[in-house]
Structure 1
Amino acid sequence: METIASYFKIIFDVGPNVVLPFFIFLFALALGTKASKAIRAAIFIAIALIGIKMVVAFMGDNLGPAMKALSKNSGLKLDVMDVGWGAVAAAIWATPMGAIGIPVLLIFNLVLLYFRVTKTLMVDIWNYHHLITAGVLTYYATDNVYLGFVGMMLAAFITWLTADWAAPFLQKFYGLPGISMPTLSSISELVIAAPINELLDRIPGVKNIRGNFDSVRKYLGLFGEPAVLAVIIGLVIGIMANYSIKDSLNLAMNLAAVMIILPKVVAILMEGLMPIQEASSEFLQKHLGGREILLGLDSAISIGHPSVLTAALILTPFVLVLAAILPGNQMLPFADITVIPFRIAFVVALVNGNVFRTLVIGAVVLIQVLLCGTVTSPVLTKIFLAVGGKMPEGAVGVASFSGGSLFVTYAIMQTLSFILSGVIISAVVFGLFLLVAKSQQRKAIQLMEEEEENTYAAIQNKSTPL
């Protein structure tokens, strides 16, 4: 296993911009795609993901300092520093479980596919680090390597099954047929979001609140245009950060650029996916009797949607208010401010772009991130220091909007550490989520059966002579 892990580490050290297109190229060839088309598809997908990261980094370069100034002006005194998902991922990969986790999870994924437990083939190797994080945190919390691997496998199992469940509404909302998005940093929020959405469906008055981001933009006219809306939000953030007029205007225009450029980059991704989707459909019909297999990609492909970006920009300053007033929170949002789109992208699709529900559920998700990040910070800090990380000035601990802040990771770590409060919270939340998921599956099956019956009746009526 260590030998296999060493080979995977060599491949992984090349970086995700090379590793991901390499695996996509192999996957495309396995589906019967011509080599020339497979190469083009892999390159276009890689270009799109690089472009998405560049635009998100650009947003971070502009939004990060503004949020830091806003935090300073508000006088927040929180001693657990958000060091960002990148620092956490680097720390996780530096642990012994880091490289070993890749081949273990890849084999586990193929076994589950073979036995039809999941339909998701996670080719997004880079984001395996979210799954491995659950294992490493569990290992450091329990000092038991076996429980560490159990935690990693549990995170993978939950992620892939939830990705299967979420695929239909994500495909429909984002226009991505044949795709699932098994990125734990986005998937995890559905465990919280789905029960809340079901609860909102049962509250008189609240359940009837309509209006998605598209309809709001149409109602607002010019002020509802994504770029104009981004300018307004950017100016508000600039003023709150005590920026000068010049700096506020520059921030506003840069955020407007992100709002327009990011969807264009996602369009490049779609161009790369087209031949793989076509080949996948033909392959499944020919060799697997039409059995569905979903290509598991990074949830980054969903964050370019204008509704996601609009909601994220609205929630960004709000998270600082939450951090300041939330009882029990010690986490200061900073480096991961720009990953809020990843935290809410699936929420937006779950509620079909409903503005009210997106903001309400998004706020609850951010509360969960802050509290879980605070609770798991001591263990994450231990890992961070063990691999040579340096503690930020004035901080007593580190956290991020990834790692232990994800509810699935928190739940696994708390449960396998036999912490009673964590076990109870996890059991309640997962129990509610499973009830909602089962209910929605039954409704989907019932709807499908009704459509088949209607189709059959229509055919019978058409064929019956007058």
Structure 2
Amino acid sequence: MQAIAEFFQYVMSLGSYIVLPILIFFIALILGTKVDRAFRSAVFIGIALIGINLMTKFLADNLGPAVKLMSENAGLNLDIIDVGWGAVAGAIWSTPMGIVGIPLILVTNIVLIILKQTKTLDIDIWNYHHIVTAGVLTYVATGNVILGFVGMLLMAFMVFKLADWSAPLVQKFYGLEGISLPTNSALAPLVLGVPLNYLLDKIPFVRKSNLKFDSLQKYLGPIGEPAIMALIIGAGIGIVAKYPLKETLGLAMNLSAVMIILPKIVSILVDGLSAIQDSSKIFLEKHLKGREVYLGLDAAVAIGHPSVLTVSLILIPLTVLIAAVLPGNRMMPFADLTSITFRMILIVALVHGNVLKTLLIGIVVIAQILIAGTITSPLITNVYLSLGNTLPDGAVGISSFAAGSLFTGFSIIQLLSFSVTSIAVCAVVWGLFFLVQKKELAKAINLAEVSDDLSEVASDEI
């Protein structure tokens, strides 16, 4: 077991931009791709991952200090600090349960595929930390290691099924054929988003709203262009943060640059995936009688969509406001603010980029994350401190926009620790989700198909 743990720890230390291309290379060969094309595919995917990581860090480096000043200027005195998913994931991987998490989840995934209980082959091993976290925090909450592993396996099954259900939508809206996104930070908001979208459609004004992010330029002219909107939002954040003129203009230009550069980087990744997408079709037809199997990738492959970036930039300053006025919240949003992009990926696809619906659902998702993060903070703080870490100055606890803050993990922790009130609330949300998810996802997929058909017609006419 120790040897297995050391092997996977070494693999993790190599970084996603090394390990994922290697996995893609061998998977492509198994699927029958020629060596040269498989190698090119792997290299392009590695290049794209490096670019995505660089741009994500660039965004965080620019927004982090501005948001901190915004919070200080607003006089927020919240005593649970969002230290970011990276710090939390590092703590989780260092626990005994974290060490065995990767091989256990991987074996579980393969068994479920063989038993035809999932279509997703999840090779996004870095984001296994979401699954392991549910197990670790369940163990901390209950003191029962068996319940901890039950929580981990239940979380894995939940992630795979949500990835299966949302895969057709991902493939249609983002053009990622044969791909699913088993990243819990993108999937969890869907559990809230699906019933909320259903309820919003019962409100005539909302139902009739048809303004979409990709059509803003039509109504607003040059101001509606994503890069210009990012410029304006960046300038606004700089002004609220009371930046000097030079820093305000710099922040505005940097956010505008991300809006243009990140989608181009993602297009490199999509190019790299083309080989494995083509080979998988042939392989599945030949060896699995056409059985559908999805390649589960990091949701980062979709964060470059202009609609996702635009709504995220709008929600970042709104999150600070929500944190200030939300009853019961003690969580100070900070390190994970730029990860809001991941929380919006499937929401944007679900509502097909509808501006009003995306913002309304996004606000509810953010509020849920803050409250759940506050409730589960003692659990993750316990793990964090037990590993010799110290709390930030003035903080009584830590949290993040991942860990127990995401609705899926929060539900499992509350269920297995028998928290009656939280179980009742979660049961209502899950009940609504299962009641309408099939119809709502089918409707969203149909919208994406109509959009594709219109785009093809327009291309033919041109």
Give the TM-score, by structure 1 length. Answer: 0.93
Q: CA deviation at 1:20?
A: 1.6
Correspondence 1:305-324 to 2 at 5 A: 305-324=305-324
- Pick closer, same or farther for the CA change 1:225–1:440 going to 2, 3 Å: closer
Shift of 1:5: 3.0
Q: Is the 8 A contact 1:329 1:370 kept in 2?
A: yes
2:452 is aligned to: none
Deviation at 1:2, TM superposition (A): 4.4
Instruction: Report if aligned partners of 2:198, 2:440 keep a CA contact under 8 Å in 1.
Output: no
Residue equivalent to 1:395: 395
Q: Write the letter of the residue equivalent to 1:376.
A: T
Counterpart residue type for residue 65 of structure 2: P
Q: Shift of the alpha carbon at 1:235?
A: 0.7
* Distance in 2 between residues matched to 1:344 and 1:13, nearest whole Å: 28
Mapping for residues 99-248 of structure 1, pairs under 5 Å: 99-248=99-248
Matching residue's letter, 1:268 = I
Cα contact 1:29–1:38 (8 A) shared by 2: yes
Determine the C-alpha separation between the residues in 2 that align with 1:255 and 1:18: 28
**2:410 matches 1:410:** yes
- The 10-residue stretch of structure 1 (164-173 or 254-263) with the greater mean CA deviation from structure 2: 164-173
Q: Classify 1:160/1:311 alpha carbon distance in 2 versus 1 (closer, same or farther; 3 Å).
A: same
**Residue in 2 that maps onto 1:459:** none
Report the CA distance between 1:99 and its aligned residue.
2.1
In the TM superposition, 1:17-166 aligns within 5 A as: 17-166=17-166
Match of 2:271 in 1: 271
Q: Using the aligned pairs only, state the percent identity.
A: 57
- Preserved contact between residue 33 and residue 276 of structure 1 (Cα < 8 Å): yes
Preserved contact between residue 124 and residue 298 of structure 2 (Cα < 8 Å)? yes
Gaps of 5+ in 1: 448-466
Structure with bigger gyration radius: 1
Deviations 1:38-61 (A, max 9, x none): 222112112111211110100110
**1:47 match: secondary structure:** helix
Distance 1:331 1:352, change over 3 A: same
* Larger displacement relative to structure 2 (246-255 or 424-433): 424-433
After superposition, give the CA deviation of every residue in 1:241-273 in whole Å (9 maximum; x if it has no partner).
001111100000000000000000001001100
Distance 1:443 1:228 in 2: 32
Name the residue aligned to 2:360.
Answer: 360
Query: How far did 1:217 drift?
Result: 2.0
Q: Is the 8 A contact 2:78 2:330 kept in 1?
A: yes
CA distance in 2, matches of 1:294, 1:107: 17
The AA in structure 1 aligned to 2:175 is: G
Equivalent residue, structure 2, for 1:453: none
Whether the aligned pair in 2 keeps the contact of 1:194 and 1:436 (CA below 8 Å) is yes
Give 2:453's aligned residue: none
| 2:343 corresponds to 1:343 | yes
User: Residue 170 of structure 1 contacts residue 350 of structure 1 at CA under 8 Å; is this kept in 2?
Assistant: no
Q: Report the CA distance between 1:209 and its aligned residue.
A: 1.2
Deviation for aligned residue 1:438: 3.5
Task: After TM superposition, give the deviation of residue 439 of structure 1 in Å.
Answer: 3.4
CA offset at residue 4 of structure 1?
2.8
Deviation at 1:7, TM superposition (A): 2.3
Q: Distance in 2 between matches of 1:177 and 1:360?
A: 29
For the residues of structure 1 that align with 2:209 and 2:196, how far apart are their CA atoms? 15
Q: Please name the residue that 2:386 is paired with.
A: 386
Displacement of 1:446: 12
| Cα deviation code 1:60-95 (max 9, x no counterpart) | 100100000111111000000000011001000110
TM-score by length of 2: 0.94
SS in 2 for 1:205: helix
Helix, strand or coil at the partner of 1:389: coil
Q: Comparing 28-37 with 327-336, which one deviates more in the overlay?
A: 28-37
Give the structure 1 partner of residue 284 of structure 2: 284
User: Aligned Cα RMSD in Å?
Assistant: 1.6
- Looking at structure 2, the residues matched to 204 and 214 of structure 1 have their Cα atoms a distance apart, in angstroms, of 22
